[in-house]
A and B are shown apart, each in its own frame.
Chain A
Amino acid sequence: MMNLLRLIGGRSASAPVARERLQILLAHERGVGGSAAPELLELLRSEILAVVSKHVDLDPEKVVVKMDRGKFVSMLEVDIEVPNGMERSKMVAAR
């Protein structure tokens, strides 16, 4: 789809990039100054990072905790990127 748009428009669509950047940024900012409990998201993120890091080596930047605010419910999304290979062997070794 993106490629199709690129063919027609001659350049890539930038709006999806804008939307995604905003969603990630605002998820963080809402935790700090918004209606959610102060710094809740950052707290969740650091504790999740601490727990998972006990068993798997993680890049702290690859742990993303998002809150999507909806009218009736909000969605808490935890996205953890785990590198392949190295961690697996480490986990096996730990057994």
Chain B
Amino acid sequence: MAKVLVVTSGKGGVGKTTSTAALGAALAQAGQSVVVIDFDVGLRNLDLVMGAERRVVFDLINVVQGVAKLSQALIRDKRLENLWLIPASQTRDKDALTDEGVRRVINELRSKFDWILCDSPAGIERGATLAMRYADEAVIVTNPEVSSVRDSDRIIGMLDSKTAKAERGERVEKHLLVTRYDAARASRGEMLSIDDILEILATPLLGIIPESQDVLRASNVGCPVTLNSTNSAPSRAYMDAVRRLMGETVPMTVPVERKGLMNRLLRRRAA
């Protein structure tokens, strides 16, 4: 029986899609069977970040509306055989998603996978509420920046009130994933620290993904960062996060880039 996990944030551009791809791939790399679903109807991108953009035939809306069977919309990853994708529609508007349709699709997937990852669109509209609607757990992606933290707080409130679990009087288990973190800037007081963010949002920490060039490089080539550069700092951070999701206790560290002296000097000049 699958666990349904929504990757959400409120604010756009903080790394929901990147994190969905990385967490999904890392779970699959750990031997779990995983399906990632793009809920960003009209602005799909998970297919692109995962390098499956030319293999999309049917999408989530087609399945919700009964035009296609679930098996027709599932795209198998070319690198990991236990990782699957259901893309969002690029042409329909977000009203094409219905509560009942989403419930049916997720129920059907529950018996087939270990994990169902729902990549939420930004905002607090229909797409975002439907992405979290049937979630058992939530990963809230937050940047160490005021607008992102504020929006995360709002989303946390919605997870506690608008989900099917909340309405049954149960709790959606929430995890905070801080992305684009720069430990050096935080230690100089130029950036909200992890402690600041945890104090404000009062939500358990799942992981700290350091700011890194590897993340953009991975999305450029359409490969989740955990597959594209397995030993990079962000990749190790996602792998640790996934082990925590699976119930392991992993010490919380901020993985750092292993840089040579020359690299460091060049970087400083550029900054």
Interface majority SS on A: helix, strand, loop or mixed? helix
Digit string of A8-41 for contact with B (CB within 8 Å is 1, else 0)?
Answer: 0100111110110111011001100111000000
The size class of the interface chain B forms with chain A is 20 to 34
B186 at the interface (CB under 8 A from A): yes
Residues of A within 8 A of B193 (CB): 15
B247 at the interface (CB under 8 A from A): no
**A35 vs chain B, min Cβ distance (A):** 5
B167 at the interface (CB under 8 A from A): no
Residues of A within 8 A of B196 (CB): 15, 18-19
B95 at the interface (CB under 8 A from A): no
* A14, B193: Cα distance in complex, Å: 11
A78 at the interface (CB under 8 A from B): no
Further 19 A-B residue pairs, CB within 8 A, beyond A13-B188, A16-B189, A18-B146: A5-B188, A9-B189, A9-B190, A12-B189, A14-B189, A15-B186, A18-B145, A19-B192, A19-B196, A19-B200, A22-B149, A25-B150, A26-B150, A26-B153, A29-B154, A30-B153, A33-B157, A34-B153, A35-B160
Interface residues of B (CB under 8 A from A): 145-146, 149-150, 153-154, 157, 160-161, 186, 188-193, 196, 199-200, 202
